[in-house]
Structure 1
Amino acid sequence: MMTFLRKWLKNRIVLSCLIYLPLILLIIFGISMAYMLANVAMLVLAVAVVLIVVFSVSS
C-alpha cells in the first residue's frame, strides 16, 4: 500500500511539474515581452491564467 501511494505521489508530482513548468515559463516570457509588446504579452498572460485555472479545477 505504501509503495503504491509513494509511486502515485511521485507520478502526481511529475505530472504537475509537466503542467505547471511550461505555464510558469510562459508567464515569465509574458512579463519579459510586456516591455516590448504590451498587447501580445497581456494576451499571453491571460491565456496562461486561464490554463492554470482550468488545470487546477480539473485535477
Structure 2
Amino acid sequence: MDGKFSGSTPSKLQLTEGAHVILVEQTGYAVWQRTVTISPGNDININAVLTKTPGTQ
C-alpha cells in the first residue's frame, strides 16, 4: 500500500481519505497495481486477480 508492505491477502485495511496505490505481487505472476481514491465514510472492496507469467509453472 503506497509503497509499503501491508500484509498478506485477504486483508482489511483502514486508509485515510485520498488517493492510494495498491500493488499485489506473487512470484510467477504479473504484478497487479491500481490507484484508488478513498472518500470519507465509504468502504471499498478490491478483488485483485493475478495472471500467471508466461513460462512459469
Which has the bigger relative contact order, CA under 8 A and spacing at least 6?
2
Tell whether the structures are fold-level matches, with TM greater than 0.5: no
Scaled by the length of structure 1, the TM-score of the pair is: 0.19
Instruction: Indicate the structure with greater strand content.
Output: 2
Answer with 1 or 2: which has the greater Rg. 1
Instruction: Indicate the structure with greater helix content.
Output: 1
Scaled by the length of structure 2, the TM-score of the pair is: 0.19
